[in-house]
Amino acid sequence: MSVVGIVLANDRSRPLEFWFKLDELSRVQLDELVAVDVFNPFNPDRPVTVYAVVDDLIDSVEGLAFPGDTELLEQGASYGRRILMAHARVLRFVPDVLRPPRPGAPVRLALGDDLAKALYVDRMRDSALPVGVLRNGQPAYLNYDFLCGVAGGHVNISGVSGVATKTSFATWLLYSVLNARRSDGQYVARNRQDVKAVVFNVKGTDLLFLDKPNARFAEDERAFCREAGLEASSRYELLGLPAGPFERVACRVPPRPGLAGAERLAGEVPAGATATPYAWSLLEFCQKGMLPYLFALDPGSQMIQFVTEDVTERLKRYAAGQEGPHVYLPPGEAAGDWDPLAARGTVEGLEADGRVRVETLDELAQYVSDMLLGEHWGRHHAQGTVQAFIRRLRGALRHVRHLVRGDLPPRELERARLDPLASSDMVHVIDIHDLHSVAQAFVVGVVLRDVFDQREAAARSPGTVYVVLDELNKYAPAQEESPIKETLLDIAERGRSLGVILIGAQQTASEVERRVVSNAAIRVVGRLDMAEAARPEYRFLPSTLQERAGILSPGSMIVHQPDLPVPLLVTFPFPAWATRGSEVARPGSADSEFDDLIPLE
Amino acid sequence: MTLRFRLHPWDPDTLYTVTEFDREAGEGEDPHLDLSFEVPEDGWRPLAPGGTVRRTVRFVDGARRHDAAGTIGDRPCLFVVMGVGSVASRLGERVEPPTPQPAQRFVIVAGRDGGDVAPVTLPQYGVTYVPRFTDAADASLSAYAQTLMLEREADLAEELARAYPDDLVVVDGPLRRSGSHQNVLGYVKTTRRERLPASHHWVLDALQPGQRTPVYLVRAGDRSLGDRLEWVIRPRPPARGVDPRQGLVRVQANSALTPDEARALADWSAATLPAYSADYHHDARAPQQLLIVKDLESDLRRTFGDRELLLGALRGALAA
């Protein structure tokens, strides 16, 4: 038993917190886990073990009346007795008898079984999912039941951009879900082969290399472990995880705008990455009612929304039963509504029944505008509203016209299809970083709705779908309403039962819709702005951790989960997958490396 | 000439309680001073030592507390607790706090030991008050307690001086052994009656911190314990409005020292001891009080235990 001190007799020993006097040489720092045995009056033969985490340390000199006399101490003209005090916040009682530790009782490091109990790992059993490494080098676990939707679901990550490493943590968590195994060799994630992940890449091109091994991480990990005094060459090893890139990854990038001919569906792929472009057919646009997602962030006034709904419904109706990628639309129902000849300037594409073949979003917009301005469609709406709708439509058009296509041959269209649930790939990275925010919202809105609707329509499917989305403050802001926010609320509130789990992130949780954040069973905090950390959204952090959140270094996160009364501060490993082209390991071919690193299933 | 009021640097309550017991042997007698021990009597002036050696110094002090007062038969008694200890310091280096020693407890009874007084034990705290008797007609019980403590201080000082011949030992208060070890110095914070002749008072007034008077010899009177050497130092510049004569300290040493040996000790004390002196905000007895001695005192008091608890336990033990 490694005793590190004794409980202090300072009138502060309580069931939920206590102080202990720390031996100066004992290797204890903040976040260390400790245990104390307490007399159990209900069963004297079985003491209560109190498990606690050290959340404050005070080094002081007793007997020194004035702090200003510290120099006199150094000079030997005065003296006092040095005392190192540690504050411990109680995590658990085993058995559940809530008694304060006795002053003078020895405090020991929680190791082995003690550690498992302190962190409730004994209760997680087969659901213990590695989430990071504690400061003392021990693995920390999440209860997977609270992640995958069984007992709870959704993760919310807050932190300042750039230093909080939110996306890295979300990716790491995903990696752990896909790779962690129990002691019997089974995957922690149930139905792991059916697990899907939809990851939106909102910044840089980092996530487009998920499937490429990282040439640098092993060295970085070794250096980290050396500095932290960890007895392993990498934190993957400590956590019992393989180290390698993600497998079964599909990276999808938007097509470059303005391309035609043979190159019409080429995307911007950074050097070293492998990606295919994505797009939707014009027919899908009409059939699935995607029009509202052109205004996903700013749907406009209620009157405008009526027009949007009206048009969406009409397009759906007309497109029903057609085969794309283009769409045939009827001529005007009254003269002057729509003159296909005038619109196209040619008879090409004109059907015998007078319907016209529309191949581009611009043509569709033109059609919709003309119809709205004509008598039949327009008579339900005020002219001003119609004008406003058309302005919005035109405004959105230039940002998304390359994403919705009626001009692609079926083979290319199949290649461009974005349907993560139907695909055999496991991880779908959807790059939107270079898109205008209107287009970003369109893509996010359409994909999320599609995933949710598919899951809702199907019977409970076995695998969980993880959706990783940063900038929740943009998509589900605390104040405004929008179609995309509606979808996110659907996921937050009903996704758990449908197996759709949101791993959401934002700089500031206070700016995000409360119901989205409060539905997350697991809250994670990286470096926070001090003022932000003081907001009520972070009440789950004890005050000392709120302060600490302001100075967290990249790679350190505070993880709160329902099972543990106190959040844990963990570090997570450097990515074993590349995050930029220069990191991609390629001795010979990337594929051979890939095979070396990933254990076969 | 109109006389001006001046203040004493000490807190009045401290001044009129603590010093009550700080009597010196021979006090009140006519002084027999040999002012020419180090320099001729008419050559007196403040002396500023040159460079002196850095030496380890061991401060010895005691602290005591009255736990309870009572009677046994028709004799008054006093329950006291006292602790005596030392701390070693070498300027420029951190002090290693001394190992705490258990406090000593006595019940002081007026009158002779008739062999009929048993120790008082409080088993729940592992504490025993050992009887001591005083039949001195004029002595109060608390003065006897003080004497007991001073005796222990003197014993400890001699013990330390023998055990660490290279170190100096500074006892808080006057020297109490006529044949004290040559490395034991007495540190006298109060002077009830100035014994230096008026012709030499200007030297006292002119003293600056770091300076000292010449060493002089105090000859034993009839009741005194023995001859001793003495010199005066000033620990800190006088505070405004305070009588400058009241901020002085007399340092005492064994009279058997040669003038050269005495000079070395005196120089050392003038150069070193001011660094230990308490500032005015530190202590009611500043500037004479030594800060490290104050620290030692409060360290000693830590071993005394809670007075209220002991009093309650004594009531319980004596109720039977």
Q: Is A411 on the interface with B (CB under 8 A)?
A: no
- Count of domains observed in chain B: 1
Q: Give the pLDDT confidence of B195-223 residue by residue, as tens digits.
A: 888 999 999 999 999 999 999 999 876 55
Residue A454, token pair as written in the block: 């598919």
Can you tell me the distance from the alpha carbon of A586 to that of B250, in angstroms, rounded to the nearest whole number?
A: 85
Alpha helices in A499-569 (DSSP H): 514-518, 530-533, 543-549
Can you tell me the distance from the alpha carbon of A214 to that of A59, in angstroms, rounded to the nearest whole number?
A: 42
What's the DSSP call for residue A297? Answer: S
Does B302 reside within a domain?
A: yes
- Residue B255: name the closest of B153, B161, B151, B179 by CA: B179
CA of A5 vs chain B CAs: smallest distance (Å): 19
Chain A's closest residue to B291, CA to CA, is A78
CA of B281 vs chain A CAs: smallest distance (Å): 9
CA of B222 vs chain A CAs: smallest distance (Å): 39
Residue A292 and residue A403 share a domain:
yes
| Domain enclosing residue B25, as ranges | 12-64+149-319
Q: Which residues of chain B from 227 to 286 reach within 8 Å of chain A, CB to CB?
A: 275-276, 281-282
Low-confidence ranges of chain B (pLDDT < 50): 20-21
Any bridge partners for residue A143, and if so which? A128
Residue B30 is predicted with a pLDDT of 60
Confidence of residue A600 (pLDDT cuts 50, 70, 90): very low
Residue A158 and residue A40 share a domain:
no
Residue A329 is predicted with a pLDDT of 85
Alpha helices in A229-360 (DSSP H): 235-238, 282-287, 302-319, 340-344
| Domain enclosing residue A216, as ranges | 125-255+418-597
Does B163 reside within a domain?
A: yes
What's the DSSP call for residue B237? Answer: P
Residue A133 and residue A112 share a domain:
no
How big is the CA angle at A557 (ends A555 and A563), to the nearest 5 degrees?
Answer: 145
Rounded to a whole number of angstroms, the distance between the first and last alpha carbons of chain B is 68
Does A559 reside within a domain?
A: yes
User: Cβ distance B171 to B60 under 8 Å?
Assistant: yes
Does A574 reside within a domain?
A: yes
Can you tell me the distance from the alpha carbon of B187 to that of B59, in angstroms, rounded to the nearest whole number?
A: 10
Q: Do A66 and B87 touch (CB under 8 A)?
A: no
Does A376 reside within a domain?
A: yes
Does B111 reside within a domain?
A: no
- Count of domains observed in chain A: 3
Residue A446 is predicted with a pLDDT of 94
Q: Give the pLDDT confidence of B68-84 residue by residue, as tens digits.
A: 998 888 888 999 999 99
Q: Per-residue pLDDT for A599 more than 60?
A: no
CA of B214 vs chain A CAs: smallest distance (Å): 26
> At residue B18, what are phi and psi to the nearest 5 degrees?
-60, -45
Residue A492 and residue A475 share a domain:
yes
Q: Give the pLDDT confidence of A189-232 residue by residue, as tens digits.
A: 988 988 999 999 998 888 999 999 999 999 999 999 999 888 89
Sign of CA dihedral B117, B118, B124, B128: positive
Residue A555 and residue A425 share a domain:
yes
Residue B157, token pair as written in the block: 């000082």
Interface test with chain B among A72, A81, A83, by most B beta carbons within 10 Å: A72
> Which comes out higher in pLDDT, residue A426 or A347?
A426
Please name the helix (run of DSSP H) or strand (run of DSSP E) that holds residue A37, with its range, or none. strand A33-38
Q: Do B275 and A63 touch (CB under 8 A)?
A: no
Does A265 reside within a domain?
A: no
Residue A405 and residue A506 share a domain:
no
Any bridge partners for residue A159, and if so which? none
- Give the one of B292, B298, B299 whose C-beta lies nearest to A77's C-beta: B292
Q: Do B89 and A76 touch (CB under 8 A)?
A: yes
Does B105 reside within a domain?
A: no
Q: Give the pLDDT confidence of A486-514 residue by residue, as tens digits.
A: 999 999 999 998 899 999 999 999 999 99
Of A349, A377, A410, the residue that ends a domain is: A410
- Residue A34: name the closest of A21, A47, A25, A46 by CA: A21
Chain B's closest residue to A67, CA to CA, is B282
Does A587 reside within a domain?
A: yes
Pairing of strands A327-329, A249-253: unpaired
pLDDT above 70 as % of chain A: 92
Q: Do B276 and A77 touch (CB under 8 A)?
A: yes
Does B19 reside within a domain?
A: yes
Complex-level ipTM: 0.79
- To the nearest 10°, the Cα dihedral for A129, A130, A134, A138? 100
Q: Do B93 and A76 touch (CB under 8 A)?
A: yes
Residue B23 is predicted with a pLDDT of 56
Can you tell me the distance from the alpha carbon of A13 to that of A578, in angstroms, rounded to the nearest whole number?
A: 49
A-B Cβ pairs (cutoff 8 Å, strict): 44
- Residue A571: name the closest of A588, A549, A556 by CA: A556
Q: Do A77 and B282 touch (CB under 8 A)?
A: no
Does A371 reside within a domain?
A: yes
Residue A574 is predicted with a pLDDT of 94
Determine the angle formed by the axes of helices A302-319 and A361-373, rounding to 10 degrees.
Answer: 120
Q: Give the pLDDT confidence of A177-194 residue by residue, as tens digits.
A: 999 999 899 999 988 988
Q: Per-residue pLDDT for A596 more than 80?
A: no
Lowest pLDDT segment from A110-124, A234-248, A323-337: A323-337
Of A118, A149, A169, the residue that ends a domain is: A118
Sign of CA dihedral A31, A34, A38, A43: positive
Q: Do A77 and B298 touch (CB under 8 A)?
A: no
Q: Is A150 on the interface with B (CB under 8 A)?
A: no
Chain B's closest residue to A64, CA to CA, is B295
Question: What Cα–Cα distance (Å) separates residue A533 from each residue in A156, A505, A537, A540, A551?
Answer: 15, 15, 8, 11, 11
> Which comes out higher in pLDDT, residue A338 or B277?
B277
Q: Is A601 on the interface with B (CB under 8 A)?
A: no
Q: Is B193 on the interface with A (CB under 8 A)?
A: no
CA of A64 vs chain B CAs: smallest distance (Å): 8
Confidence of residue A594 (pLDDT cuts 50, 70, 90): very low
Does B28 reside within a domain?
A: yes
Confidence of residue A339 (pLDDT cuts 50, 70, 90): low
Any bridge partners for residue A106, and if so which? A6
Q: Do A77 and B91 touch (CB under 8 A)?
A: yes
Of A118, A143, A159, the residue that ends a domain is: A118
User: Cβ distance A467 to A418 under 8 Å?
Assistant: no
Average pLDDT across chain A, whole number: 88
For residue A313, the number of C-alpha atoms closer than 13 Å in the C-beta half-sphere is 7
Does B98 reside within a domain?
A: no
CB contacts, 8 Å: B95 with chain A: 73, 76, 78-79
| Mean local confidence (pLDDT), A413-436 | 92
Does B252 reside within a domain?
A: yes
- Residue B103: name the closest of B69, B67, B76 by CA: B67
Does A140 reside within a domain?
A: yes
CA of A478 vs chain B CAs: smallest distance (Å): 57
Q: Do B95 and A72 touch (CB under 8 A)?
A: no
Q: Per-residue pLDDT for A561 more than 60?
A: yes
Q: Is B119 on the interface with A (CB under 8 A)?
A: no
Residue A228 and residue A86 share a domain:
no
Residue A520 and residue A500 share a domain:
yes
Q: Is A75 on the interface with B (CB under 8 A)?
A: yes
Q: Per-residue pLDDT for A38 more than 80?
A: yes
Q: Per-residue pLDDT for A236 more than 90?
A: yes
Residue A332 is predicted with a pLDDT of 63
> At residue A295, what are phi and psi to the nearest 5 degrees?
-115, 40
CA of B98 vs chain A CAs: smallest distance (Å): 9
Sign of CA dihedral A277, A282, A285, A287: negative
Does A568 reside within a domain?
A: yes
Q: Which residues of chain B from 283 to 312 reach within 8 Å of chain A, CB to CB?
A: 291-292, 295, 298-299
User: Cβ distance A80 to B97 under 8 Å?
Assistant: yes
Pairing of strands B168-172, B184-188: parallel
- Residue B285: name the closest of B7, B6, B11, B8 by CA: B11
Q: Do B95 and A81 touch (CB under 8 A)?
A: no
